[in-house]
């Protein structure tokens, strides 16, 4: 396994084509806007090396028997699935943001299942190829970006009917040694902190869309790939001298648009090629895993709840019964989320490939809750914290000779609680509910791993309605409505 330092060094060796604010970023690793997101991924490496977290953060490779990061592991049991959920919460606690590495883990696990199933149907050899690739990932402890979401253009039309055929990523040329692909993937979490990109289709494809039914992996600095970093609320605070106004002073996330401008992929890195009837299976398998991964939001919720308890103590409101009750409500919602990500793991099962999968109904229910509860937790956080979350002057004003003394005097908290500590915790609450971390805690909770409607469709498909009806009918004596 890599140390965090080795991880950061390995990123320095990449030659990524990254743009932000209209300019190419030459030194991605040390860029102050990107760096906090890299720090969050680096934390996955440092946590894996701590003996006290070894059970959660590491696993034994089923391929080589070596100790590996759980982020590169293929789940071999229900216990592995449960530990994955616990790892998400733990990492959320330590970073207070999206730590980005779960997408690749979910892509690897989904492909371990679906490549096997394609081979069983078509006599292909994708699974063997995939396992060779997996061994490379595990041995080198790499970060993989799981790239699923296409830009999609007119959402009412399938890929082949779009005015611009590149709005979904597709194969444009087949060569003896591989394929050439063109298109883009949007909202790519942690894209420029990754060594590898694993591409998957974004929707169920029909026969006319078979050129879009492809899955493959490429090194992240492959020629023809361009990254354009997304803006986040208050992102340029990271360029400021002081750190206090960032709220979370070390960690953050980033997303990017990833453009594939005729990128070559050798055959040994192609894991699905025009088997359109398996595209939906791959999307659903990945989504089920990634909806479980939103255990991360429980961990970030812990941070927000801790911040709210702290500010209520600083404000002198912690004994008020309505404040106590609101914090109980926040915990209730957050632990309800935890129930969901543990339950879908505990109800997991073995797939034909040997990989363990979560219960898809429960992981979709979990993610549906994630589209709602963090918003309510954030609302309660702002309620309890008070208006200073948004009216607080800057760190420079706090340190200024002219204004600092006023801020220290008038923003001092109860008793000996200092104005500075009070400001820090306000900024953290601002960061989590309005600033850069709200990308991960709120909007990503809404749309990441699929928007709410995607889960509702899955829930309606996966519940056994006939069985429920039979219970009801039996109990009230209905026998003859068939």
Selected binder of ligand SF4 within 61, 222, 293, 309 (CB under 6 A)? 293
454 binds ligand SF4 (CB under 6 A): no
- Active site (annotated) includes residue 476: no
Nearer to ligand SF4, 339 or 412 (CB): 339
- Active site (annotated) includes residue 433: no
Nearer to Fe ion, 269 or 367 (CB): 367
Stretch that binds ligand SF4, among 2-10, 95-103, 199-207, 357-365 (CB under 6 A): 95-103
In angstroms, give the least distance from the CB of 448 to Fe ion: 3
Tokens 């229900």 belong to 78
Say if residues 37 and 190 touch (Cβ distance below 8 Å): yes
Candidate list 196, 284, 395, 444, residue with the active-site label: 444
DSSP 376-434: HHHHHHHHHH-THHHHPPPHHHHH-TTTHHHHHHHT--STT--HHHHHHHHHHHHHHHT
Q: How far apart are CA 37 and CA 4, in angstroms?
A: 13
230 binds Fe ion (CB under 5 A): no
CA distances (Å), origin 306, targets 43, 464, 471: 20, 39, 44
Selected binder of ligand SF4 within 18, 29, 98, 258 (CB under 6 A)? 98
Say if residues 261 and 175 touch (Cβ distance below 8 Å): no
How far is residue 411 CA from its own chain's centroid?
36
448 binds Fe ion (CB under 5 A): yes
- Active site (annotated) includes residue 189: yes
In angstroms, give the least distance from the CB of 444 to ligand SF4: 5
Q: Are strands 144-147 and 196-199 parallel, antiparallel or unpaired?
A: parallel
Say if residues 272 and 205 touch (Cβ distance below 8 Å): no
Stretch that binds Fe ion, among 86-94, 135-143, 272-280, 444-452 (CB under 5 A): 444-452
99 binds, among ligand SF4, Fe ion, none (CB under 5 to 8 A by kind): ligand SF4
User: Exposed, middle or buried, 389 (CB in 10 Å: 0-12/13-18/19+)?
Assistant: buried
Q: Between 158 and 197, how does the x/- string for binding to ligand SF4 read (CB under 6 A)?
A: -------------------------------x--------
Q: Between 178 and 197, how does the x/- string for binding to Fe ion read (CB under 5 A)?
A: -----------x--------
Q: Would you give the DSSP letter of residue 317?
A: -
Say if residues 217 and 248 touch (Cβ distance below 8 Å): no
Query: In this structure, what token pair is assigned to residue 252?
Result: 């953050």
100 binds ligand SF4 (CB under 6 A): yes
- Active site (annotated) includes residue 58: no
Residues with a catalytic annotation lie at: 98, 102, 189, 255, 290, 294, 296, 444
Please give the residue ranges that form the binding site for Fe ion (CB under 5 A). Answer: 189, 448
* Chain residues in the site for ligand SF4 (CB under 6 A): 98-100, 102-103, 189, 293-294, 296, 440, 444, 448
């Amino acid at each position: 396994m890599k140390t965090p330092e080795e991880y950061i060094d390995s990123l320095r060796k990449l030659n990524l084509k990254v743009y932000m604010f209209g300019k190419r970023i030459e030194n991605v690793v040390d860029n102050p806007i990107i760096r906090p997101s890299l720090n969050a991924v680096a934390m996955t490496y440092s946590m894996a090396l701590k003996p006290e977290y070894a059970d959660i953060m590491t696993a034994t490779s089923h391929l080589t028997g070596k100790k590996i990061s759980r982020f590169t592991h293929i789940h071999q049991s229900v216990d592995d699935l449960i530990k994955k959920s616990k790892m998400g919460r733990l990492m959320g606690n330590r970073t207070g943001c999206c730590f980005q590495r779960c997408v690749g883990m979910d892509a690897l696990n989904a492909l371990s299942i679906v490549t096997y199933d394609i081979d069983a149907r078509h006599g292909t050899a994708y699974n063997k190829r995939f396992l060779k690739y997996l061994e490379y990932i595990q041995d080198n402890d790499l970060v993989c970006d799981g790239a699923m979401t296409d830009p999609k253009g007119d959402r009412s039309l399938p890929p082949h009917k779009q005015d611009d055929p590149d709005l979904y990523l597709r194969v444009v040329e087949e060569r003896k040694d591989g394929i050439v692909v063109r298109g883009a993937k949007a909202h790519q979490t942690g894209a420029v902190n990754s060594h590898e990109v694993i591409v998957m289709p974004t929707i169920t494809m029909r026969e006319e869309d078979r050129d879009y039914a492809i899955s493959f992996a490429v090194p992240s600095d492959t020629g023809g790939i361009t990254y354009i970093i997304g803006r986040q609320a208050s992102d340029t605070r990271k360029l400021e001298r002081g750190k206090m106004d960032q709220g979370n002073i070390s960690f953050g996330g980033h997303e990017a648009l990833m453009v594939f401008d005729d990128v070559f992929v050798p055959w040994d890195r192609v894991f699905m090629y025009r088997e359109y009837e398996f595209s939906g299976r791959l999307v659903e398998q990945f989504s089920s895993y990634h909806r479980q991964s939103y255990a991360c939001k429980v961990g970030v919720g812990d941070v927000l709840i801790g911040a709210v308890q702290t500010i209520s103590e600083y404000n002198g409101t912690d004994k008020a019964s309505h404040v106590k009750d609101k914090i109980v409500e926040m915990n209730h919602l957050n632990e309800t989320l935890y129930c969901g990500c543990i339950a879908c793991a505990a109800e997991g099962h073995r797939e034909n490939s040997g990989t363990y999968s979560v219960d898809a109904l429960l992981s979709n229910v979990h993610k549906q809750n994630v589209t709602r509860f963090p918003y309510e937790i954030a609302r309660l956080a702002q309620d309890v914290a008070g208006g200073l979350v948004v009216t607080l002057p800057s760190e420079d004003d706090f340190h200024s000779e002219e204004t600092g003394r006023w801020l220290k005097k008038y923003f001092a908290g109860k008793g000996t609680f200092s104005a500075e500590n009070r400001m820090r915790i306000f900024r953290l609450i601002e960061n989590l509910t309005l600033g850069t971390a709200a990308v991960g805690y709120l909007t990503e909770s809404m749309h990441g791993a699929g928007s709410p409607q995607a889960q509702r469709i899955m829930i309606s498909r996966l519940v056994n309605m006939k069985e429920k009806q039979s219970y009801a009918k039996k109990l009230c004596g209905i026998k003859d409505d068939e």
